[in-house]
Structure 1
Amino acid sequence: MVERFVTAPIDELAVFHLKCLYALSQKRYNEAYQLQSALTQALTKIIQSQKEENWFLPVMYVVCLDLRTVAQKAESEKVGNTEKPGEILEKAAESLMGCFRVCAADNRSSEEDTKRIGMLNLVNQLFKVYFRINKLHLCKPLIRAIESSPFKESFSLSQQITYRYYVGRKAMFDSDYKAADQYLTYAFENCHKSSKRNKRLILIYLVPVKMLLGYIPKREVLEKYDVIQFWDLVEAVCQGNLKLFDELMEKHESFFIKCGIYLIIDKLKIIAYRNLFRKVYLILDKHQIPVEALQTALVSLGQTDVDLDETQCIVANLIYEGKIKGYISHQHRKVVVSKQNPFPPLTSLS
């Protein structure tokens, strides 16, 4: 029936698509994935054969999006547990890479004609797969390809926002907080104001990055986008209240782990240490601070297992990171801080 109305090679795409829809309606997700995968491979050949045209790109975007979403459905089905976790998504990524390579290989310089204008859409689909199966190292060559593209500024704003969101997250996991701040801030500021869900997703990663760089988020922003979990954390860090910090880490543990930011949030504890030691310095009002005084402050806030040696290690880390200006006199068990700006503003270190 399809062949009577649709000519080759498009007829093959239509047949695979209709069969896939039927399999989905029957909730046979593994079968649907196999059909969608075959559809994607057939489409890749068509695009490759269109040497001087790129009008088929919008079809490619839809087919690749469907492939990823159907693969996710098939992952949840796992008939007979024959596949390893993430195996179906990995295979889907291989098909997506096939489309990406065809687009990247188009050397035409005209923005209206080249298939390279479709690269970012595919990169974003691949990012979503790689983040889901925790293979972030595979993002690196894709980022390099986009950053070196002459069409970098010509991609649609929505695609650029998605791209920067994922690159910002990867930079955060790589501990490159300046880059993470740059990419995630762009994504948040350019995301449409009505897209509250997307803005919330971006803030979940942007807030801890900003805090690690010494910037404090406003409570009204956290309330507006329903990430108020961070506000108590902000107060605990600013006050140097380690007891409250530990309680909040335990209280919101499942949320932080689900979002993949638990270890990033835990790094904020070093700032809480810095703020607590600054309070001790202000109370004693002298530039030679006994290590015992710092340990007493730690113990009073629930860090009962911290001895003098570990306290010195915490101080040494703060000095190394530039959060305290001074040195440790091991002979006298004292921290000697600078007479000028001993606790530099955190924003000046970022």
Structure 2
Amino acid sequence: MFGTLNTYLSGISRCWTATDGASLASFLSLKDKHIMNSNLCLQNPENAVEKVLDSPIDELVCTHLKVLYYLDIEPRNFMEAYNNQCQCVQAIVKLLQYLKDENWCLPVMYTVCGDLRVLAHRCEEMNNSLKPGEILEKAADCLMSCFRVCAADNRCSEQDTKRLGMLNLVNQLFKVYFRINKLHLCKPLIRAIESSAFKDSFSLPEQITYKYFVGRKAMFDSDYKSADEYLSFAFKNCPGNFLRNKRLILIYLVPVKMLLGFMPKKEILDRYDVLQFYELSLALQEGNVRKFDDIIQRHEIFFIKCGIYLLVEKLKFIVYRNLFKKVYLLKQVHQLDLADFCAALQYVGEKDMTNAETHCIVANLIYEGKIKGYISHSHNKLVVSKQNPFPPLNTVS
């Protein structure tokens, strides 16, 4: 494709003149076939480019051709390619500012920014950074420069506002911030999107990605009802043929649902190959502490790799709650001896459980609203409410 440099540059010129953002984006994409053409891999393309293209598009094309050069040489120099891709993004910023009354170039911005993030990941994997996350953080700064230009556009018309490009950039930034574990930097981005007059105008795929990341952040913030809302939207609207994406969403949605008291159906978990959660749900419903611990230990690597180990660990208090509810249903009294809870815990595997530890577990369940009642220390009893002493988990705030 594009046998000569002049053919390639002429194609870009036509796209620029026709304000064809989608086609121009393909000319500048590292996923397009043209990157295999060695005629386009130039270390110093300025003279040739400036003969065909005018400012500001010439700078963007020059930096792109330099990226191709560093990805073509042996051995490939990913760090220099990344540095030049950063220059590509800065050229995009100038382009956005130059086209102040137009937004047809947004697809070009999406492509160039996405390629920068991918190159940054590759450089991090090759240990080109003195400090882990340093390269990705610099890439995020470049992406933010584009975001500021888009956010500053005060045009109200959907036809030409650059604010329509905000969500794509926010999703790119989420991917970086989650990777370098700087989730606090997501807050201002979320505020910007939620307050946007165009938040319902973004494309559905972008909304799905956004809801997925915001749901995960809510999960880490222990805001499980919000996490359920966002992740459920992402799962419901993700097309059925994207099995890998639906499975990824489900890995976070299922434990959130379980924390809210909703147990998953086996056929759904089987369809997306996450039956580990079905075993957990059985242990939860039974109040079987021993079984729960065995499942956690058996699937420990899976839970750690998915980043949900601590979240799954929190489910243990639901196991305790369901076990204690069985004691309550068995005794049918509102003043329950804490020694009975201790005995129940020992029976289901907590062999070394003491009365003091049992008191702590019960106290935590009361504090979290999972049991309505209070502990009478003088009588070593749990006094529960006569009305709904074990409220449904989805009603617990």
- Any residues of structure 2 matched to 1:218-233 within 5 Å, and which? 218-233=265-280
What number of residue pairs does the alignment pair up? 348
Identity across the alignment (%): 65
Instruction: Tell whether the 8 Å contact from 1:127 to 1:139 is kept in structure 2 after alignment.
Output: yes
Q: Distance in 2 between matches of 1:285 and 1:104?
A: 61
Q: Distance in 2 between matches of 1:343 and 1:242?
A: 18
**Counterpart pick for 1:137 among 171, 178, 184:** 184
Q: What is the CA distance between 1:347 and its match in structure 2?
A: 2.7
**Counterpart pick for 1:249 among 293, 296, 299:** 296
Superposed CA deviations along residues 88-109 of structure 1, whole A, max 9, x for unmatched, are: 0000000000000000111111
Amino acid at match of 1:302: G
**Counterpart pick for 1:47 among 84, 96, 104:** 96
Answer yes or no: is 1:94 the counterpart of 2:141: yes
Q: Distance in 2 between matches of 1:349 and 1:75?
A: 42
Q: Distance in 1 between matches of 2:79 and 2:362?
A: 55
Amino acid at match of 1:200: R
Q: Distance in 1 between matches of 2:167 and 2:388?
A: 46
Residue matched to 2:37: none
Which of structures 1 and 2 has the bigger CA Rg? 2
The structure 1 segments of at least 4 consecutive aligned residues displaced by more than 4 Å after TM superposition are: none
Q: What is the CA distance between 1:212 and its match in structure 2?
A: 0.8
Amino acid at match of 2:85: Q
Residue matched to 1:74: 123
Q: What is the CA distance between 1:348 and its match in structure 2?
A: 3.1
Q: Distance in 2 between matches of 1:15 and 1:277?
A: 69
CA shift in 2, pair 1:299/1:71, >3 Å:
same
Q: Distance in 1 between matches of 2:386 and 2:185?
A: 48
Answer yes or no: is 1:340 the counterpart of 2:387: yes
Residue matched to 1:278: 325
Amino acid at match of 2:88: L
What secondary structure is seen at the aligned counterpart in 2 of 1:342?
Answer: coil
Q: Distance in 1 between matches of 2:367 and 2:112?
A: 51
Q: Distance in 2 between matches of 1:295 and 1:71?
A: 53
Residue matched to 1:5: 52
- Structure 2 spans left out of the alignment, 5+ residues: 1-47
What secondary structure is seen at the aligned counterpart in 1 of 2:387?
Answer: coil
What secondary structure is seen at the aligned counterpart in 2 of 1:226?
Answer: coil
Q: What is the CA distance between 1:338 and its match in structure 2?
A: 2.7
**Counterpart pick for 2:378 among 314, 323, 331:** 331
Q: What is the CA distance between 1:54 and its match in structure 2?
A: 1.2
Answer yes or no: is 1:31 the counterpart of 2:76: no
Q: Distance in 2 between matches of 1:325 and 1:176?
A: 21
RMSD: 1.4
Q: What is the CA distance between 1:342 and its match in structure 2?
A: 2.2
Q: Distance in 1 between matches of 2:145 and 2:212?
A: 24
Residue matched to 1:216: 263
Answer yes or no: is 1:59 the counterpart of 2:111: no
Superposed CA deviations along residues 259-304 of structure 1, whole A, max 9, x for unmatched, are: 2111111111111001011112222333322111111111122223
Amino acid at match of 2:283: A
Amino acid at match of 1:56: C
Q: Under a length normalisation based on structure 2, what TM-score does the superposition of the two structures give?
A: 0.85
Instruction: Tell whether the 8 Å contact from 1:33 to 1:70 is kept in structure 2 after alignment.
Output: yes
Instruction: Tell whether the 8 Å contact from 2:56 to 2:94 is kept in structure 1 after alignment.
Output: no
**Counterpart pick for 1:319 among 349, 358, 366:** 366
Residue matched to 1:163: 210
Residue matched to 2:15: none
Amino acid at match of 1:289: L
Amino acid at match of 2:104: W
- Any residues of structure 2 matched to 1:134-213 within 5 Å, and which? 134-213=181-260
Superposed CA deviations along residues 39-71 of structure 1, whole A, max 9, x for unmatched, are: 111111121122111111110000000000011
Q: Distance in 1 between matches of 2:232 and 2:263?
A: 14
Q: What is the CA distance between 1:305 and its match in structure 2?
A: 3.1
Q: Distance in 2 between matches of 1:23 and 1:304?
A: 62
- Structure 1 spans left out of the alignment, 5+ residues: none
Q: Under a length normalisation based on structure 1, what TM-score does the superposition of the two structures give?
A: 0.96
Amino acid at match of 1:88: I
